[in-house]
């Protein structure tokens, strides 16, 4: 479209202004492009967005929602091309799976939002660890559970913590790891002093209710055919 403008007998100043407007705000429908054509042909200084300068839509072109759908299709095809041509290149970097060792007890979970590099929830890191894998005795584990409070899930026997204090995800990883180390060190300091203190499990009371099952003796007898 810029190539056709360069052939029009208009002045350099008017040509530069039309190019600037079209670059900063590209037209999406025929009515808006017709207004730009009117400016090019007359060489006037009319407002391109003035409704009085727009011709009547003849239903011979797609409207703005149609061009929005085309833009969405281009976005989908972009990722389909990446899937077909770029992802197979990752086979050269494949490594065999190695299960975590006994010392690697921390599990981290993050979320990546495709197409949103600055999503507010992207830096968040969630940590889970099994209480049985912690290097603590029964008395020390009891104090550790008292310290973590409602972050303890008695049904799954896991500790769940999250951090989104920092914009960099690696800093949230480090903060969670350091916090677990501090809790373990604190749990090993005079654990007998808190051994008689009961755990507060009210946050998990609804998950700890026993399931009521229908007694088999109450079933109706099956009539033999």
Asked whether residue 98 is assigned to any structural domain, the reply reads no
Averaged pLDDT of the chain: 80
pLDDT at 57 over 80: no
Q: From edge to edge, which strands make up the β-sheet containing 107-110? A: 107-110, 125-130, 158-163, 152-153
Region of residue 83 (phi > 0: left; psi between -120 and 50: alpha; otherwise: beta): alpha
pLDDT of residue 34: 52
3-state SS assignment for residue 131: helix
pLDDT band at 109 (very low <50, low <70, confident <90, very high): very high
Percent of the chain with pLDDT over 70: 78
This prediction has a pTM of: 0.55
> Which band of pLDDT confidence, cut at 50, 70 and 90, is reported for residue 89?
very high
Residue at 101 is within a domain: no
Supply the CATH number for residue 139's domain. 3.30.160.20
Mean pLDDT over 105-132 rounds to 91
Q: Identify whether residues 137 and 191 lie together within a single domain.
A: yes
The answer to whether residue 84 sits within a structural domain is: no
Do 64 and 139 have their domain in common? no
Pair (140, 188) in one structural domain: yes
Tell me, what DSSP letter sits at residue 157?
T
- Percentage of the chain exceeding pLDDT 90: 51
Q: Is the pLDDT of residue 18 over 70?
A: no
For 141-180, the pLDDT digits (tens) are 999 999 999 999 999 999 999 999 999 999 999 999 999 9
pLDDT digits (tens, 9 = 90+) for 199-212: 999 988 888 877 77
- pLDDT confidence bin for 37, thresholds 50/70/90: low
Are residues 51 and 132 both part of a single domain? no
Say if residue 194 is in the same domain as residue 134.
yes
Same domain, residue pair 132 and 191: yes
- 121 and 177: one domain? yes
Please check whether residue 190 lies inside any domain of the structure: yes
More confident of the two residues 38 and 214: 214
Chain center to CA of 2: 39
Together in a domain, 134 and 192: yes
Residues 55 and 115 in one domain: no
- Give me the residues paired with residue 160 across strands: 128
Task: Indicate if 53 and 111 belong to the same structural domain.
Answer: no
Taking 90 as the threshold, does the pLDDT of residue 27 lie above it? no
State residue 157's pLDDT score.
93
Number of domains in the chain: 2
Q: Is residue 81 part of a domain?
A: no
Q: Which domain holds residue 145?
A: 107-201
Indicate the residue among 46, 71, 96 that finishes a domain. Answer: 71
The answer to whether residues 67 and 152 belong to one domain is no
Whether 90 is in a domain gets the answer: no
Same domain, 60 and 131: no
């Amino acid at each position: 479209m810029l190539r056709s403008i360069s052939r029009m007998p208009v002045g350099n100043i008017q040509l530069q202004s039309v190019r600037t407007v079209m670059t900063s705000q590209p037209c999406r429908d025929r009515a808006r492009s017709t207004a730009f054509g009117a400016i090019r042909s007359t060489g006037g200084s009319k407002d391109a967005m003035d409704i009085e300068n727009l011709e009547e839509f003849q239903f011979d072109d797609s409207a703005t929602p149609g061009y929005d759908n085309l833009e969405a299709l281009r976005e989908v095809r972009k990722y389909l091309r990446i899937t077909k041509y770029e992802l197979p290149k990752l086979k050269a970097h494949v490594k065999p799976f190695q299960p975590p060792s006994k010392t690697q007890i921390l599990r981290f979970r993050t979320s990546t939002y495709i197409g949103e590099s600055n999503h507010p929830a992207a830096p968040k890191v969630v940590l889970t660890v099994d209480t049985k894998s912690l290097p603590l005795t029964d008395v020390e584990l009891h104090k550790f559970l008292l310290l973590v409070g409602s972050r303890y899930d008695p049904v799954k026997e896991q500790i769940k913590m999250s951090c989104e204090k920092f914009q960099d995800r690696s800093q949230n990883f480090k903060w969670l790891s350091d916090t677990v180390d501090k809790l373990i060190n604190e749990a090993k300091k005079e654990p007998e002093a808190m051994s008689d203190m009961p755990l507060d499990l009210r946050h998990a009371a609804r998950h700890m209710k026993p399931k009521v099952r229908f007694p088999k003796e109450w079933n109706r007898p099956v009539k033999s055919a």
